[in-house]
Amino acid sequence: MFHKGATAVAASKSGGYFVAVKREGIFHYSVESGWQQLFKLKHKIHAISYIGPYLFGVGENGTVIRSGDEGHTWALSSFPTNAVVWSITGRKDGFVCAHGKHSIYVSNDFGISWEIMKPFAHVNHPPVIRSLCAAGDHLYIGTQIHEVHGGIWVYDLESEQVFLLNREKHRMTASMLLCQEHLLVCALGSKKGKKGSVQILDLHTNILHDIQSQAFAREESFLDVSEDNSIVYVTTSQDEHGFSKVYQLDIEQKELKWFDTIKGHGFRVANQNENFFCAGLYESKFVRPYDEPALIH
């Protein structure tokens, strides 16, 4: 059933993983219980995330889904956009934020009601939004490739002011998360050439570390980043042989350590301590690094 590949994954608070399977819907996977379909859905979901007690999923054509009971039931809705929604972020106080092409959709009640905000209203030829990360009263916005306005922007949610934090002319910021409350970890990808990297930006000092793979030839794109108990994994796009990689990021040593390979793009990764689940273009993989890997079709 799972030969079509998966497009998103999130670690469940109660064990196992929530997995978005292309054109089939949301499933739960665990070693103990195997696969269980929770919600049938034809729309592709590109990100699944906990925000407070709720699970959210977002994807193509503005699709947004929400569950308040650990994935047993879901409410389906959509934002007023035909764009792909790649990212959703939020806080435990009810703040939730997703994006369209240039706009963001903001809720202060865990997605019951929404308002539209336009952080790039005063920017000529604005970039297309690719990733989001909420940190206090600031929203970090990663863009797709844009030679003039590409990179990571900071949007002050109180003053509604926006400024460019880190310019990237030839790379997209595919995914971001906050580690240790002050380190913004970003997965960056290029369209041409092996220019993908993982960046660690210290929000206290503005010191930026750009980390590339040393184990293999350089990667064209890093696509996703996941963290649990200070253990961080990142995934890549597929190489010329059709395989992508999963690396563990050593934040202290600023190193990427190769852990596994998966067929096709490694769209998303989620981990529980050292164990991780990678949602790939052609296959999904649950790995306990110190046991034999389990390949899931």
Q: Residues in the chain, how many?
A: 297
| In the chain, % of residues over pLDDT 90 | 91
Q: Give the residue extent of every domain in the chain.
A: 6-287
Best CA proximity match to 176, nearest among 79, 71, 252, 97: 97
Name the CATH architecture for the domain at 6-287: 6 Propeller (2.120)
**Helices and strands in the chain, H and E counts:** 0, 28
What pLDDT score does 191 carry?
Answer: 85
- Helix, strand or coil for residue 252? coil
Quote the distance between the C-alpha of residue 275 and its chain's center: 18
pLDDT, tens only, 246-293: 999 999 999 999 999 999 999 999 999 999 999 999 999 999 987 765
φ/ψ of 62, rounded to 5, equals 75, 10
Distance CA(146)–CA(169), nearest Å, equals: 6
CB 222 within 8 A of CB 188: yes
Task: Write the CB contacts of 15 (distance below 8 Å, at least 6 apart in sequence).
Answer: 30, 32
Q: How far, in Å, are 38, 74, 233, 273 from residue 71 at the CA level?
A: 7, 7, 24, 22
pLDDT tens track for 17-76: 999 999 899 999 999 999 999 999 999 999 999 999 999 999 999 999 999 999 999 999
pLDDT tens by residue, 167-213: 999 999 999 999 999 999 999 999 877 889 999 999 999 999 999 98
